Amino acid sequence: MLNLIGTYECKADTKGRLLVPSPLKKQLTPVMTEGFVIKRAVFQPCLELYPMEEWNALMEKMGKLNRFNRKNNDFIRRFTAGVKTVELDSAGRLLIPQDLQSFARITKEVVLSSAINIVEIWDKTKYEQAINDAANDFADLAEEVMGDADPIDGIS
């Protein structure tokens, strides 16, 4: 499993291409030849970049959902809306499709934020707003999500 680290700022050009920062590109090198999937995030106004291997693992799980259950079918449709395959070009740039740029309101200043095995792509202003909005609640969230963790597993 990929374990990406870091938050990086970069700029998108007028065509929606952004140069992936070198430290992130180095981490993505083992999976670059397979390509990526880019999609709308579920909970935030950002995009998610999945290495193909991670996307395929997620699709395998989703493929087990019963498509004759209306909620499952609606979820699959919404989750995969706007999904595109993308690659880094020879210059190390990623082209963000126009419809996805519009969704995430990406203009010029961009933040690429690692989220374990995927990369979130944010408009810089929206990213800073999301981080600031969550700052007040983060201690409570951390306690709720991680507070019951078994202390033996090393997470404390």
Tens of pLDDT, residue by residue over 57-70, are: 999 999 999 999 99
Q: Over range 9-34, report the average pLDDT.
A: 94
| Alpha carbon distance 121, 49 (integer Å) | 7
What's the pLDDT tens digit per position in 30-53?
999 999 999 999 999 999 999 999
Return the CATH number of the domain spanning residue range 7-147: 3.40.1550.20
Rounded CA separation 64/56 (Å): 13
Residues paired with residue 123 on neighbouring β-strands, in sequence order? 110
Does the predicted TM-score (pTM) go above 0.75?
yes
8 A C-beta contact, residue 4 and residue 51: no
Query: Is the Cβ–Cβ distance between 27 and 103 less than 8 Å?
Result: no
